[in-house]
Structure 1
Amino acid sequence: MTGVSSLTGRLLVATPALADANFARAVVLVLDHDAEGTLGVVLNRPTPVGVDDILEGWGPLAGAPGVVFQGGPVSLDSALGVAVVPGEPGARTSPLGWRRVYGAIGLVDLETPPELLAAALGALRIFAGYAGWGPGQLEDELEAGAWYVVDAEPGDISAEHPEALWREVLRRQRGTLAMMATYPEDASLN
């Protein structure tokens, strides 16, 4: 990762030029980025599957729309929980079953009984699968212009209308990047 700082806790927003169907207009929250590679989850790919349909007891803790999200094309048969625990990082002990990733955002151990975390969680999303890049792979994609890197906000995890997240994240940026939010889905129709 020579010359590249950690992207953990930041968002990767797919540029219109990104041709991979798995990531077209994707907003990826980076959960881990180091010399061994990158792991993240796509925040704007809800599925029709309810959380309680696959993880009993977690449904009431999941924010609207209360469904499982496709976190990426890797390990679709595994589940990852990402949650926000309100409050200042370091102000108190992290709740049992939650590991801080960045700021108020962390990973939930889905083996933990949900009732132990219920009072502590401010927002929770369950993801089937994840997005992963090997060493240097994401850096190559960044250099090729496939992704915009922007700051995440805790509310991004629990966006009530996740299908609009790509435009919303771009719209809140400054300068020309904000104008990309108006880019048509099919530029050939312009």
Structure 2
Amino acid sequence: MTEVSSLTGRLLVATPALTDPNFDRAVVLLLDHDEEGSLGVVLNRPTPVGVGDILEGWGELAGAPGVVFQGGPVSLDSALGVAVIPGDEGTSQGARLRSGGADPIGFRRVHGAIGLVDLEAPPELLAAALGSLRIFAGYAGWGPGQLESELTDGAWYVVESEPGDVSSTEPEGLWRAVLRRQRSELAMVATYPDDPSLN
């Protein structure tokens, strides 16, 4: 079996050809990607449910909008916390450890400044360290080789993530914003109409 090049920390941006309604215009942050499969969260699906309504103590730490996001169609009854540690965007794990800066308790780094938050930990343990926090109900998951097959079929664009993607204050516009910042023909895809039949 050929080795899978990890896409952890990258964004999957749904192409206009992707017809699955769960992922229409979705921007997915990949939290894990290897030969055993992939796991990510949809960054641009806010719900009307406030974080404080379901997770006591975490509401004050959630960035605007302070709502739960639908992270994907899998395990909608589970919650994942994704956060950014400010000032850490360009710091490699090795450099941080050499300088004595370990990750805060209850935070597991995924890529760059982005990591997963242990929602079982007391929120006050992380309050001082976190720059922004998003809570996701459910996640997007792919079995071994499934994502690679979808990439081959042209369902997703793969682009670099930026720490601000996790905490975008206008998540509904994230699909267009991520495409617009690309330095390639992908920037033109941002102008694709919501309903191509109206073209």
TM-score interval (norm. to shorter): over 0.9
The separation in 1 between residues aligned to 2:3 and 2:197, in whole angstroms, is: 37
1:171-186 map, 5 Å: 171-186=180-195
Aligned residue for 2:53? 53
Aligned residue for 1:114? 123
Q: TM-score, normalised by structure 2?
A: 0.94
Q: For residue 124 of structure 1, give the secondary structure of its aligned residue in structure 2.
A: strand
Aligned residue for 2:163? 154
The separation in 1 between residues aligned to 2:123 and 2:76, in whole angstroms, is: 22
Give the conservation status (yes or no) of the 8 Å contact 2:3–2:35.
no
The separation in 2 between residues aligned to 1:5 and 1:24, in whole angstroms, is: 25
- Which amino acid is the alignment partner of residue 141 of structure 1? E
Q: For residue 168 of structure 1, give the secondary structure of its aligned residue in structure 2.
A: helix
1:92-111 map, 5 Å: 92-111=101-120
Q: For residue 182 of structure 1, give the secondary structure of its aligned residue in structure 2.
A: coil
- Which amino acid is the alignment partner of residue 112 of structure 1? A
- Which amino acid is the alignment partner of residue 155 of structure 1? G
* Residue 26, structure 1, aligned to residue 35, structure 2: no
- Which amino acid is the alignment partner of residue 194 of structure 2? E
- Which amino acid is the alignment partner of residue 83 of structure 2? A
1:2 is displaced (CA, Å) by 2.5
Aligned residue for 2:9? 9
1:5 is displaced (CA, Å) by 1.1
Q: For residue 141 of structure 1, give the secondary structure of its aligned residue in structure 2.
A: helix
- Which amino acid is the alignment partner of residue 140 of structure 1? S
Percent identity between the aligned chains? 79
- Which amino acid is the alignment partner of residue 77 of structure 1? D
The separation in 2 between residues aligned to 1:187 and 1:3, in whole angstroms, is: 38
1:89 is displaced (CA, Å) by 3.6
1:85 is displaced (CA, Å) by 1.0
Unaligned segments of structure 2, at least 5 residues: none
1:4 is displaced (CA, Å) by 4.0
The separation in 1 between residues aligned to 2:67 and 2:159, in whole angstroms, is: 26
- Which amino acid is the alignment partner of residue 38 of structure 1? S
* Paired residue total: 190
Q: Considering only aligned residues, what root-mean-square deviation do their CA atoms show, in Å?
A: 0.9
